[in-house]
Amino acid sequence: MQLLLEGARQLGLDLTDEHRWAFQVYYEELVAWNARFNLTAITEYEQVQVRHFLDSLSCVRALVGTEYLLPAVPGQAGFRLARPLTCIDVGTGAGFPGLPLKIAFPRLRLTLLEATGKKVKFLEHIVERLGLEDVTVIKGRAEELGQMRNHRESYELVLARAVAELPTLTEYLLPLCRLGGLCIAQKGVGAQAEAASAQRALAVLGGRLRRIIPVELTGLAETRHLVVMEKIARTPEKYPRRPGVPAKRPL
């Protein structure tokens, strides 16, 4: 896990032997299940470390300087959550970015939302295998969950990676985000253009673009971006629209 450890240090994270064990088990289980269920196209050891684990951990860059994150120990490197933080990972797939963040920050109260049954089974398995607490796995869609009372505007942090373009993605994420919370969308080179095209959707749904953070990762040539949006007003009740509509008719 050397690439992961080095890359994590550059993000300000000092991973312990316990963290390294968890990521090693995660990798082994991912590859074993992938042989049967095709969870991901990326299975090579170094690529998983960078493109799945390290890329997921890079979300911490969006929390630096916020009320959510504190130095691990004053005067030393590293971070810790200031308090337990409610978080939902929308369209998590095989658990990215939510589970690597949970491994690094055990106080995260994490919900994993995934619509594909075989991926949900893997998520349930890996959560149990790693002995992770305060993790809920839900089989469903964001359009449905966003209209449920116990999930709507309930999460301080809403995450998504490789789910949809931003005009559509904002309708998945913002209804789940509580007032004053943050949505983080992980994007590639087209982040700036997507953010520009999502301005109307943000305004309609009660969001505002906070910043776009470029991320350079050890072992990855291309630049990744974190599109950070904040919830500044309540989302109108008619959003999200029924499943499939946000993708077909983006705001």
Domain boundaries, the chain: 2-248
Four-residue CA torsion sign, 132, 42, 216, 49:
positive
Distance from C-alpha of 103 to C-alpha of 46, rounded to nearest angstrom = 19
pLDDT band at 218 (very low <50, low <70, confident <90, very high): confident
Global pTM value:
0.95
Q: Check if CATH label 3.40.50.620 holds for domain 2-248.
A: no
- Whole-number pLDDT of residue 152: 98
Greater confidence (38 vs 160) lies with 160
Spatial distance between the Cα atoms of 131 and 134, rounded to a whole number of angstroms: 10
Q: For 162-182, what is the mean pLDDT?
A: 96
Statement: residue 76 has pLDDT above 60: no
pLDDT on residue 219: 83
The whole-angstrom separation of Cα 225 and Cα 58 is 9
Q: Which residues on neighbouring strands pair with residue 213, listed in sequence order? A: 226
Residue identified by tokens 């080179």 is: 189
Per-residue pLDDT of 100-112, as tens digits, reads 999 999 999 999 9
SS (H, E, C) 181-229: EEEEEEECCCHHHHHHHCHHHHHHHCEEEEEEEEECCCCCCCCEEEEEE
What pLDDT was estimated at residue 71?
81
* CA gap 168, 191 in Å, rounded: 14
